[in-house]
Structure formats: structure tokens, C-alpha cells
Amino acid sequence: MKPSPSPSSRPTGRRPDKDRPDRRGGKAAPDPTRDIAFDIVEGVIVHRRMLDTSLDHSAAARTAEPRDRAAGHRLAATVLRHMGTANEVLSPFLKREPPEPVRVVLLVGVAQLLFLDTPAHAAVATSVALARRRGLVPFAGLVNAVLRRVAAGGAQALDGLDQARLDVPPWLWQSWGRLARPIARALGHEPPLDLTIRPGAEAPPGGEVMPGGSVRFAAGSAKVVDLPGFAEGAFWVQDMAASLPARLLDVKAGERVADLCAAPGGKTAQLAFAGAEVFAIEREGRRIERLRANLARLGLSGVQVIHEDAAQWRPDAPLDAILLDAPCSATGTIRRHPDAMWIKRPRDIATMTEGQDRLLAASRDMLRPGGRVVYAVCSLQPEEGEQRALAAAAMGLVPDPFTPDELAFLPQARTPEGWLRTHPGMLADRGGMDGFFAARFRRA
């Protein structure tokens, strides 16, 4: 499951002297890329902070150049994608469990050696220097010895390892059933960049048109803000799977539609460009600012953005349609957020489903008779997907299955019940997609 090496996947922003620890025992030279990666990985596995939150907490990141922040983020994400395998590789060389910060240093070193093709001398030396900067001088020799032995084995250290299974926590593997292996294989790779193109606009050159119309660029091949048309609002970033729920709501011009839990705004934009009168509801303050900024770039000034809890908000008149992309465990986006694997716990799912049921009940109450709602989650967990569809039916919402014609461009995503289920292993030869569940209902 080793990803193809590319220049963009290697830590950058390093001067040659940063590769050498201070042999006199003094403080090692700064290395923002690896300091940021250390802060992120430690934040995730020790403090159970999300990756982006850990990045915000990183002192090294606050003063780093953008390229160092990006390289540190990429290195940390590589550690988290392959953490089970990396720990298995380290196991024979550790006679006893090291302190957590030391293990983090070792994981950063292994990720560089085995998954980013960093030259062995650089990966070892920078890891020793990282240990010194983190006040782990007594363990610098251990770091040096262990990583040298890993480097000596090279890629053969991965021979015979079931990387797919090692890199997924057992409870998640079990919950995904027969799909666990194709999902896990896809999680080891950085996801591509997908764009949804505004109606009438030109797609940036060089992308691949995917089923459903999304335009895809290979991972690391394009920076979205540099693509032609970005500033003019010709497109927005949206995984191809994430574009499907709004499409399947099938809104008509003039319909009154609510996008509940609307940030960052991709689905809101789809509804607005279809000609609907859109109410975009978002509870979180920071997310609503991002929602407003994205809609402004796209020129969608007519959307009514409402800062309120969607479970409590009610329209002044019944709605024709609702898109409920509910807060969830987000296990379907682990390719982009590998920290979720190591932060989420089975008990978290039960908490999420309670909120999802409240939002489903609220959606039912907002609709006119015959009005429709698409319930969607970027989750691979059946408790948040298939089981919530059954709960919605028990609330009095009438199932309105997606037809084969509606999903003719991606027939493998249609379940026997007429629901939508995508996962990262779907279209794996073309870059895969996020995991989504969606089901459509009408109010009786």
C-alpha cells in the first residue's frame, strides 16, 4: 500500500545543516517541517485533538512559512495513514515501550523512510535532531539506533505485513464488513482534488471529468487557488461523492429549499445554481464565516444565510425540499482526515445518531405535505447511514428511493433499497471517492 513517491510528498523547506543534530549536545537547529509534524501527531494520539486543531496549537506552525506548514501537515498525515504499519515495523526493535513523545519521533522517522522516500541519512539525522529539540536527549541514541535498523531493512520491512488491516483500528474494520479491505486500501493514499464547475463556466484545463461531472486533478498536481477561474468563482472544491446528495434532491427553479448544516457551502451552491430559493442554516460561528466567504466568491448573494441550530430553526412557511447533510463521525473522509481513525471511538457514534434523529424530526416538521428531504452523511458507519434511514421511516417520513436512471452514471452506488452508498474503494483505479450515504424521503 506504499504510495507512489512524488516530489510534492517529501518534506521541504530544509537547509542542509538542519539534517545534522548538534553533536556537542546543544540544541539542534530549527526544522519547522518536522516540528509541525511532531506537534500534529502528538496532538492526535496523545491529546485526541483533530489534525487541524493540533496544527492550530503548534507553536512551530505559527511562525512557519506556508510551504513548511504544508510539508509538516503532509508528513503528519502520512504518519497517521500508516500508523499501524509503522508501529508494527518498530516493534521488533523496541525492548520496552518508549515514552509517547519518543514514539512520535520514531513514527515521523519511519514515515519518511518507508512512505515518503526521504533519503535514509536525512530521515535518521532529522529525527535525532527532533528528539533533541523536544528535550528527549537521553533517547537520541535509541532513535538513532532504531531508525538506522529500519533504514537498513528498507522497503523489505513491509514484506508480509497486512498493511490494510494494520492501518485501521479493529472496531472500524469490523464495522465495515465485506467492504473493509477495499476501503482500507484506498485510505493509504492521498485523495485527489475534485471540483464542481459552476453552470456555464469553463473547467480549468488538465482535469479528468468523472462520472457525475466532477473535474478531478491528481493528488498534489494542482493548488486550487492557482487554477484559472478560482477568483472568478468558476468552481468550488467538492469530492465527487459529496456532490451527489444535492443532485439527488433534484430541486426545481423557484422551490423553497433549506440546506441544513450548510458549511462550507458546496451543496448550498448546487441548490442555488439550480434556481432554488435557498436558506443556508449553520450553527457554528467559524464555519458560517467560511460559508459566507465561499458564497461571496461564487457570487451567490441571494442565499439567505442563517446562524442558528438547524434542529431549532423553523421557516416562516413550509418548505418544498430539504438537504440534511447531518453532522457525523466523518469516517467517509478519512482519506482527507486520517486523524479521525485514531480519535473516534465506538461510543461517539451513539452520540452522533441522537443528533441525526433530532435533525430528521425537525426536517419532517419543516416540509409541506409531499415535500422531500435527502438525508446524507459522510460516514461509513451503518448506524449513521442505513439505520438512520430506517429510523426516518419510523418517524413517518415516506421512503422515495433513488431510481436506477438517477444513478445510471454510478450504478454500483445504488443499494437494493434505493439508497446511495459510496466508499473510498469505489472507482479506486481512478482515485476513489469519499464515503457517503444518502436516502430520500417525502412527507406524507
Spatial separation of the C-alpha atoms in residues 44 and 120, rounded to whole Å: 26
Give the residue numbers of the binding site for S-adenosyl-L-methionine.
Answer: 261-267, 282, 309, 325
Residue 29's pLDDT is 74
Sole residue written with cell 482500507 = 184
Name which of 141, 134, 138, 108 is nearest 122 in CA terms. Answer: 108
Residue 27's pLDDT is 55
CB atoms within 10 A of CB 286: 9
Residue 155's pLDDT is 86
Name which of 319, 325, 316 is nearest 364 in CA terms. Answer: 319
For residue 213, the SS3 value is coil
Spatial separation of the C-alpha atoms in residues 266 and 64, rounded to whole Å: 30
Active-site residue identified among 244, 310, 328, 378: 378
Spatial separation of the C-alpha atoms in residues 199 and 157, rounded to whole Å: 50
Tens digit of pLDDT at every position of the chain (444 positions): 444 443 333 444 343 334 344 443 445 578 999 999 999 999 999 999 999 899 999 999 999 999 999 999 999 999 999 999 999 999 999 999 999 999 999 999 999 999 998 999 999 999 999 999 999 999 999 999 999 999 999 889 999 999 999 999 999 999 999 999 999 999 999 999 999 999 999 999 999 999 999 999 999 898 999 999 999 999 999 999 999 999 999 999 999 999 999 999 999 999 999 999 999 999 998 899 999 999 999 999 999 999 999 999 999 999 999 999 999 999 999 999 999 999 999 999 999 999 999 999 999 999 999 999 999 999 999 999 999 999 999 999 999 999 999 999 999 999 999 999 999 999 999 999 999 999 999 999
Map out the domains of the chain as residue ranges. Answer: 32-161, 239-443
Dihedral of the alpha carbons of 132, 134, 137, 138, in degrees to the nearest 10: -150
Name which of 273, 370, 270 is nearest 323 in CA terms. Answer: 270
Name which of 439, 394, 406 is nearest 421 in CA terms. Answer: 439
For residue 162, the SS3 value is coil
Dihedral of the alpha carbons of 234, 216, 78, 331, in degrees to the nearest 10: 90
- CATH number, domain 32-161, options 3.30.9.100, 1.10.940.10, 1.10.760.10, 3.80.30.20: 1.10.940.10
Give the residue numbers of the binding site.
Answer: 261-267, 282, 309, 325
Residue 329's pLDDT is 96
Whether residue 328 lies in the annotated active site: no
**Arch. (CATH architecture) of 239-443:** 3-Layer(aba) Sandwich (3.40)
Helix then strand then coil, in percent of the chain rounded to 5, is 45, 15, 40
Residue 30's pLDDT is 85
